[in-house]
Amino acid sequence: MPKSRLNGSRALMVCASFVLAFIQAFLLCQNAAGQSPKAPQEQKVAPAYAQREQTASPTIKQKLSALRERAAKEKWTFRVSYTAALDVPLKALAATKPPEGLAELASAQNKEAFEFMKSNQFALTQEARKQAACLNTSKTFDWRKHDGETPVEDQKSCGSCWDFASSAVFESNYKINTKDTIDVSEQQILDCNQKYDCSGGWWPFDYIKKNGGLTSAALYPYTAQKGSCQSKNLLYKLDTFGFVKNDGSTPPVDELKDSLCEHGPLVVAVRATDAFQAYVDGVFNEHDPSCDVSHHDGDCINHAVTIVGWDDVKKAWIIKNSWGPDWGMQGYMYIAYDSNNIGYMAAWAETVAPSTASKLKK
């Protein structure tokens, strides 16, 4: 065969190989595109949770199996596994209780709060908000990315979620205003308020304000049980607090976003369940069947968390819990805007203004 014809045949073979490879790659892509993504429960959980689940008791394994059956039936968009919170009875973790006459209390407090918001002191704090460029029209916002969050903490087997969530809001607002990270004493709040303890409570801002402020966790450490009130140096002051809704009810999404931008992270109530305890990732979208439309929001909440941001793509809030980093996504959760009464009793706090911060750190 002439050399020119041989070279031509080889060239054709090479071209044919490239064409065949292209067709195969194209078909693979088409097949992959046609496949449905795995449901959240079919995907592997984080190694730490998977390893922990291997050591779970028969009771825990049975509970997780039942939750996963519900997940498939109710089309949950989150996953469950063996979190540290499952080692503690839910009643010992979730003990937030609305006070009697909430609507009247909220309305009266908001009148005082709005007077403060007219002051020059409040105007100073707004400069810090402007730097974060928080807008309720943004698709996403997260105070963790704007130096407005403090570390996740662990309330342990005391129903002091109301205490920790409120303290987190206090600490976050202080950090936004002053750029300083503080750790206030949840134990002081637990010991020294006259109304609430490990069996239940709600936002302690009224106590903090009347008491003249809070000391640090270093000076007054947490013990996870109510004790005798101790006198300590008060380092951090609360100027005022208020509710997103004038009657303390659950605000619409836009109003919650507005308040998040204006004041920083918010303390809110939610309905915590076995599924909530076992949450590890994804968007929590449970609608607790025990909370039907006949229930008032206040009849169907039991837990307090802190909203730190939102994600409109996921249609979810970003919340910080107080069950330690071995729950959820290192202590955080995405929760659907309409899930389990999230947002009830939403409240904000305004701590010391930047101009006076140095005077209170002595």
* Helix, strand, coil percentages in the chain from 3-state DSSP, rounded to 5: 45, 15, 40
How many whole angstroms separate alpha carbon 175 and alpha carbon 180?
5
With respect to residue 13, please indicate whether it lies within any of the assigned structural domains: no
With respect to residue 75, please indicate whether it lies within any of the assigned structural domains: no
* pLDDT exceeds cutoff 90 at 35: no
User: Mean pLDDT across the stretch 298-322?
Assistant: 96
User: Mean pLDDT across the stretch 190-208?
Assistant: 96
* pLDDT exceeds cutoff 90 at 305: yes
Q: Catalytic residue at 161?
A: yes
Count of residues in the chain: 362
Least reliable range by pLDDT among 137-141, 193-197, 352-356:
352-356
Q: CB within 8 A of 215, min separation 6: which ones?
A: 184, 185, 188, 232, 233, 234, 235, 236
Q: Catalytic residue at 261?
A: no
With respect to residue 232, please indicate whether it lies within any of the assigned structural domains: yes
- Average predicted confidence (pLDDT) for the chain: 87
Query: 260-295 burial, b if ≥16 CB within 10 A, otherwise e?
Result: bbbbbbbbbbbbbbbbbbbbbbbbbbbebeebeeee
How many whole angstroms separate alpha carbon 334 and alpha carbon 66?
22
Indicate which CATH number applies to the domain containing 254: 3.90.70.10
Question: Which residues constitute the domain of residue 227?
Answer: 92-361
Domain count, the chain: 1
Q: Catalytic residue at 296?
A: no
Residue pLDDT, tens place only, 155-178: 999 999 999 999 999 999 999 988
Active-site annotation holder among 134, 177, 285, 303:
303
Active-site annotation holder among 134, 158, 161, 192:
161
With respect to residue 342, please indicate whether it lies within any of the assigned structural domains: yes
* pLDDT exceeds cutoff 50 at 64: yes
With respect to residue 145, please indicate whether it lies within any of the assigned structural domains: yes
**Angle at the Cα of 152 from the Cα atoms of 266 and 279, rounded to 5 degrees:** 85
Contacts of 57-61 with C-beta under 8 Å, sequence gap 24+, read 60/86
Least reliable range by pLDDT among 124-133, 145-154, 205-214:
124-133
Find the DSSP H helices in 133-204: 161-178, 186-192
Query: Within 13 Å, how many C-alpha atoms sit on residue 81's CB side?
Result: 24
pLDDT at 299: 78
Binning pLDDT at 50, 70 and 90, where does residue 209 land?
A: very high
Active-site annotation holder among 302, 321, 340, 341:
321
Q: DSSP label at 1?
A: -
Backbone angles phi, psi at 348, to 5 degrees: -125, 165
The structure tokens listed for 139 are 């698709």
pLDDT at 47: 87
* pLDDT exceeds cutoff 90 at 51: yes
With respect to residue 51, please indicate whether it lies within any of the assigned structural domains: no
pLDDT at 36: 41
Going by their DSSP bridges, the two strands 279-284 and 266-270 should be labelled as: unpaired
With respect to residue 170, please indicate whether it lies within any of the assigned structural domains: yes
With respect to residue 54, please indicate whether it lies within any of the assigned structural domains: no
Residue pLDDT, tens place only, 100-143: 999 999 999 999 999 888 876 676 666 666 666 888 899 999 99
- Coil, helix or strand for 242? strand
User: Mean pLDDT across the stretch 249-259?
Assistant: 96
